[in-house]
Amino acid sequence: MRNEYDFSEGKRGPVIPVAPDQVRLTLYLDADIINYFKENIHKAGGGNYQTLINNALHEYIEQQKESLAQLLETTMRRVIREELPVVKTPVHQSF
C-alpha cells in the first residue's frame, strides 16, 4: 500500500452510470426472496441478482397482460355466443 494516494482527478458518483429509464429506490423484500435470486446468480456463475429480480418482474407483468387478454377474449366469445341467437331471430314487423 502507498502512504499517499492522489485523488485530484477523482470523480464522485457511481462507477457505472445508471440507465435513464431506471429509478433508484429502497425496497424491502423478504430474505428468502433475496436468497433465492442470489443463489440462482451463484449457480449461473455470476451476475447481478437485482437484474434477475427486475427481469422476473418484467415477466410477471407480461403474464398479467396475457392473462387479461385471454380473459377479454373469453368474455367476448361468451357474449357473442349468448347474443348471436337473439340477433338471428326474425323480427316481426306489423304494418
pTM recorded for the entire structure: 0.59
Tell me: the pLDDT tens digits for 35-84?
999 999 999 999 999 999 999 999 999 999 999 899 899 988 888 888 87
Please, which pLDDT band fits residue 89 given cuts at 50, 70 and 90? low
The residue extents of the domains of the chain are 31-86
Q: How many Cβ atoms are within 10 Å of 24's Cβ, its own excluded?
A: 6
Which is more confident, 93 or 68? 68
CB 52 within 8 A of CB 40: yes
Which amino acid makes up residue 88?
Answer: K
13: left (phi over 0), alpha (psi -120 to 50) or beta: left
Please report where in the chains the cell 340477433 appears, as a residue: 87
CB 76 within 8 A of CB 83: no
